[in-house]
Structure 1
Amino acid sequence: MARRVLIVDDEPGIRTVLAAYLEADGFEVVQADTGAEALRRVLDAAEAIELVLLDVGLPDLNGIEVLTTIRAKSSVYVILVTARAEEVDKLVGLSVGADDYVTKPFSPREVVARVNTVLRRARQEPPSAEPAELVLRFDGLSIDPQRREVLVAATPVELSALDFDLLWALANSPGRVYSRAQLLEKVWGYDFYGDDRVVDVHIRSLRAALGDDATRPGIIGTVRGVGYKFLPRTQEA
């Protein structure tokens, strides 16, 4: 059964082109040109929407308002589309819960690749082992991939699917320095088309969610000119 993607954009030409590329890749596509219509379709269980391509600049509700409402009621995957590259920093900083970001103008092939990457991440299953053995525990921090749950000082922290995967990738090798390119390959996938600035943006989002001060980090360290590393040591058994 084809996976269903909702394209939300007030420009018919953009919807038509994206729909053609997604359908050629095996997706079923539905469309909306307003935020209100997008919410109706996403929140209708019968629509069975798996991923939303959501333009930020809609004529009625803006994309942030739409996504905020979606996140309060649904865990559907959302890729935000914005007309300004510099706006990505602002969007991620709002922690509105998008799973990825695309900036206009874009290649339709890039968008299809992003959709596939987000949905492939969603399909990944944890390694086959006892759940207790999978949980990573550090001083004041635990990461459970089975439940996709992060606790800071025993308090649950909400992370987007992508931010969780980024934290998991770093935490599996404490002290190891990952370049941005390595993190793009490991977390976003080989077919990621964006530039490596998106890694910096998500690191900032992750630090904010974890309460980690970038000027005096205790969880994610920056190695200038190279990339990032996970700082805490695993708790002794």
Structure 2
Amino acid sequence: MGIKKRILVVDDEWNMLNLVRIHLSQKYEVVQAGDGYEALEHINRQDFDLIILDIMMPYLNGWELCKKIREKYQTPILMLTARNEVKDRVHGLELGADDYLVKPFAFEELAARVYALLRRSGINKGKGIEEEELISEDGLTIVKESRKVIVNGQSVEFTPKEFELMWLIASQAQRVFTRELLLDNVWGIDDDRDVRTVDTHIKNIRVKLKEANCSFNPIKTVWGVGYTFQKADES
């Protein structure tokens, strides 16, 4: 048996903490935190493969904690909340969360979301960059297996879903993707999904590339349709 993936679960409700631990601990190593500050202590001491994060907590709420985590780490984040408003989900995604699950939820769905996030964020360390499938365009390099985005020789940190979107659009450069098609390919089937989720992630990608001094905008908006890849000489 290989080494178990390590998951941090952050929630001020101990019943919820224990239920999540019971349902996940057979497959994963589960570490618990009762508030945001305790979570930061764990995160600064050891590495995690996934963080499950409740929003409504005292002292340091889930949104604030998500923002602090993203300042230093790109660990996948699954946010849990009793609030089902679209604006709340969009806000969490803007801060860097990778997925969103509304309470109450079936633990089978939680397990499926956890598995999907871990699978998407997995890195194949057995290949060198020269052996991997990649896309290169005017100082921008996207490496599929190791999930790296490099601008002018410097690595740019993307969340798992940001990378999935970037690779999907760039790998089929002649294709125009509708928002619904991007949702199908990156998020899968989700009754609560919203096309604005795609727009939020595309915005985050563009901001990160611009801050890294990418010489062009690789994702072009096709008004009324969706998005397509744009080469440097087309921008």
TM class, shorter-length? 0.7 to 0.9
Q: Which residue of 1 aligns with 2:39?
A: 38
Q: Is the 8 A contact 1:137 1:143 kept in 2?
A: yes
Task: Mark the CA change 1:130 to 1:44 in structure 2 (over 3 Å): closer, same or farther.
Answer: closer
Task: Mark the CA change 1:156 to 1:40 in structure 2 (over 3 Å): closer, same or farther.
Answer: closer
Long gaps (5+) in structure 2: none
Distance 1:160 1:75 in 2: 6
Match of 1:54, as an amino acid? L
Distance 1:99 1:224 in 2: 26
Distance 2:129 2:6 in 1: 33
Q: How far off its partner does 1:206 sit?
A: 1.9
Task: Mark the CA change 1:127 to 1:170 in structure 2 (over 3 Å): closer, same or farther.
Answer: farther
Q: How far off its partner does 1:121 sit?
A: 1.2
Q: Which residue of 1 aligns with 2:88?
A: 87
Match of 1:85, as an amino acid? V
**Number of matched residues?**
225
Match of 2:33, as an amino acid? A
Is structure 2 residue 8 aligned with structure 1 residue 6? Answer: yes
Q: Which residue of 1 aligns with 2:53?
A: 54
Q: Equivalent residue of 2:86, what SS?
A: coil
Q: Is the 8 A contact 1:180 1:196 kept in 2?
A: no
Distance 2:228 2:38 in 1: 42
- TM-score, structure 1 length as denominator? 0.74
Q: Which residue of 1 aligns with 2:24?
A: 22
Q: How far off its partner does 1:114 sit?
A: 1.6
Distance 1:63 1:180 in 2: 27
Distance 2:129 2:24 in 1: 38
Matches for 1:54-73 after TM superposition, within 5 Å: 54-73=53-72
- TM-score, structure 2 length as denominator? 0.74
Q: How far off its partner does 1:233 sit?
A: 6.6
Q: Which residue of 1 aligns with 2:130?
A: 131
Long gaps (5+) in structure 1: none
Identity rate, percent: 36
Q: Equivalent residue of 1:174, what SS?
A: coil
Match of 2:6, as an amino acid? R
Matches for 1:216-227 after TM superposition, within 5 Å: 218-223=217-222, 226-227=225-226
Task: Mark the CA change 1:234 to 1:164 in structure 2 (over 3 Å): closer, same or farther.
Answer: farther
Q: Which residue of 1 aligns with 2:193?
A: 195
Task: Mark the CA change 1:191 to 1:120 in structure 2 (over 3 Å): closer, same or farther.
Answer: farther
Match of 1:2, as an amino acid? K
